[in-house]
C-alpha cells in the first residue's frame, strides 16, 4: 500500500470558488470539520469585507464571526456540503481524503488530497475534468507514518468540552496569547459572566488536553525529515535519555 499526496487546482461549479473571482488577489481559506466550515479572509479592507459578508451569508448560515489577529475576518458556517458540490463531496466519492485548508483564489480552487489507491486518483481527475479545467501542481509519495499527522483534528480537539473550546477561542480573540499579552483572564471571565477561577479552570484543562494530544503529532512531524538522534536546538547530533520524548 502506498500513500500519495496530490496537490492541484481546479475550476468547477462551486459558489465559494465563484466568490473568489470577485476578490482578485485575495485568498479565501476553508476548513471543513464536524459539520462546520471555517473561512478565513486575510483582508481588513471594508469594501472587500462587505463583499465577502454578503456572499458568505447568501451561501451559508453563519454561526460566528470575528476578527483574527487584526489581519482578517473569520466566518464559521454550518456545513454547506449538503447544498453544494464541494471538493469534499467529490473526494469522498472516490475514497480520497482532503487535507485542509482548501484555498479559493481568482476563480480557482487549490486543493491537497491524500490517496491510498492510484486507480482512485485517476478516477478523481477524470471526474474533475468533466466539471472544468484541472491542473496538477505536484504529486509525491509519502511514508505511511505521515498519515497520523494529517488525520485529523478530531484527535486534537475531540476530548474538549464546549466550555473548554469557548475558553480557548475567547482567549485567542482577546489577545491573551499575543506577545505582549493584551488581556487578562479576569477580563475575559467577566465578559463571559464567569468567575476568574472558573474560567481559568476551563482554559487550563483545554490547554492541557490540546498539548497532550498535540505532542505525539509534533514529535512525528519533527522527526520525519531528520535522524532520530539529531538535536535541532544544539545543532549537533545528540542521544536523548531513554524514555525522553524528542
**27-43 residue pLDDT tens:** 898 888 767 788 888 88
pLDDT of residue 106: 94
Q: Is 1's pLDDT higher than 70?
A: no
* Residue 245 within a domain: no
Range(s) of the domain holding residue 47: 3-142
* Residue 219 within a domain: yes
Q: Is 86's pLDDT higher than 50?
A: yes
Q: Is 178's pLDDT higher than 70?
A: yes
* Residue 233 within a domain: no
* Residue 200 within a domain: yes
Q: Is 202's pLDDT higher than 90?
A: yes
| Half-sphere exposure (Cβ direction) of 173: Cα atoms closer than 13 Å | 15
Handedness of CA 115, 116, 120, 121 (dihedral sign): positive
pLDDT of residue 181: 92
**And the C-alpha cell for 20?**
473568489
Strands 102-105 and 28-33: antiparallel
Number of domains in the chain: 2
pLDDT of residue 197: 95
| Half-sphere exposure (Cβ direction) of 209: Cα atoms closer than 13 Å | 19
Could you tell me if 114 and 197 lie in one domain? no
* Residue 127 within a domain: yes
Could you tell me if 62 and 103 lie in one domain? yes
What is the average pLDDT across 79-100?
89
| Whole-angstrom distance, CA of residue 107 vs CA of residue 12 | 9
Asked whether the beta carbons of 125 and 134 are under 8 A apart, the reply is: yes
End-of-domain residue from the set 92, 122, 142: 142
Could you tell me if 123 and 10 lie in one domain? yes
| Whole-angstrom distance, CA of residue 73 vs CA of residue 53 | 10
CATH code at position 188: 1.10.10
- End-to-end CA, the chain: 28
Could you tell me if 103 and 49 lie in one domain? yes
Tell me: the pLDDT tens digits for 146-177?
A: 555 544 555 567 678 889 988 999 999 899 99
Residue indicated by cell numbers 454578503? 54
Q: Is 69's pLDDT higher than 60?
A: no
Sorting pLDDT into bands at 50, 70 and 90, what band is 124?
A: very high
Asked whether the beta carbons of 5 and 112 are under 8 A apart, the reply is: yes
Peptide bond into 91 cis (omega under 30): no
What is the average pLDDT across 71-92?
86
Q: Is 55's pLDDT higher than 60?
A: yes
| Whole-angstrom distance, CA of residue 12 vs CA of residue 8 | 13
3-state secondary structure of 30: strand
pLDDT of residue 155: 55
Could you tell me if 22 and 131 lie in one domain? yes
153-173 burial, b at 16+ Cβ within 10 Å, e below that, comes to eeeebeebeebbebbbebbeb
pLDDT of residue 227: 44
Could you tell me if 13 and 124 lie in one domain? yes
pLDDT of residue 223: 45
Lowest mean pLDDT among 113-117, 225-229, 239-243: 239-243
Q: What percent of the chain has pLDDT over 70?
A: 75
Q: What percent of the chain has pLDDT over 90?
A: 37
* Residue 188 within a domain: yes
* C-alpha closest to that of 150 among 234, 209, 221: 221
Sorting pLDDT into bands at 50, 70 and 90, what band is 59?
A: confident
Could you tell me if 60 and 119 lie in one domain? yes
Q: Is 238's pLDDT higher than 70?
A: no
The predicted model scores a pTM of 0.60
| Whole-angstrom distance, CA of residue 43 vs CA of residue 69 | 11
End-of-domain residue from the set 142, 166, 191: 142
**And the C-alpha cell for 171?**
482567549
- Output the CA torsion 14→20→22→23 (10° steps): 170
End-of-domain residue from the set 75, 109, 142: 142
Q: Is 112's pLDDT higher than 50?
A: yes
Could you tell me if 81 and 180 lie in one domain? no
Tell me: the pLDDT tens digits for 205-236?
A: 999 888 876 665 565 455 444 444 444 444 44
Amino acid at each position: 500500500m502506498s500513500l500519495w499526496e496530490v496537490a492541484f487546482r481546479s475550476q468547477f461549479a462551486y459558489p465559494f470558488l465563484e466568490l473568489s473571482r470577485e476578490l482578485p488577489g485575495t485568498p479565501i481559506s476553508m476548513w471543513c470539520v464536524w459539520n462546520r466550515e471555517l473561512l478565513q479572509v486575510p483582508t481588513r479592507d471594508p469594501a472587500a469585507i462587505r463583499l465577502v459578508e454578503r456572499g458568505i451569508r447568501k451561501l451559508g448560515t453563519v454561526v460566528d464571526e470575528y476578527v483574527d489577529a487584526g489581519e482578517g475576518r473569520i466566518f464559521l458556517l454550518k456545513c454547506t456540503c449538503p447544498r453544494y458540490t464541494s471538493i469534499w463531496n467529490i473526494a469522498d466519492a472516490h475514497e480520497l481524503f482532503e487535507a485542509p485548508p482548501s484555498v479559493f483564489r481568482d476563480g480557482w480552487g487549490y486543493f491537497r488530497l491524500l490517496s491510498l489507491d492510484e486507480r482512485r486518483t485517476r478516477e478523481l481527475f477524470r471526474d474533475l475534468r468533466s466539471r472544468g479545467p484541472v491542473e496538477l501542481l505536484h504529486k509525491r509519495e509519502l511514508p505511511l507514518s505521515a498519515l497520523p499527522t494529517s488525520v485529523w483534528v478530531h484527535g486534537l480537539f475531540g476530548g474538549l468540552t464546549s466550555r473548554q473550546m469557548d475558553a480557548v477561542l475567547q482567549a485567542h480573540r482577546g489577545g491573551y496569547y499575543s506577545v505582549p499579552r493584551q488581556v487578562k483572564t479576569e477580563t475575559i471571565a467577566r465578559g463571559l459572566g464567569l468567575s476568574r477561577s472558573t474560567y481559568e479552570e476551563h482554559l487550563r484543562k483545554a490547554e492541557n488536553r490540546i498539548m497532550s494530544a498535540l505532542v505525539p503529532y509534533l514529535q512525528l512531524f519533527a522527526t520525519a525529515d531528520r535522524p532520530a538522534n539529531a538535536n535541532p536546538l544544539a545543532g549537533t547530533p545528540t542521544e536523548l535519555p531513554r524514555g525522553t520524548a524528542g
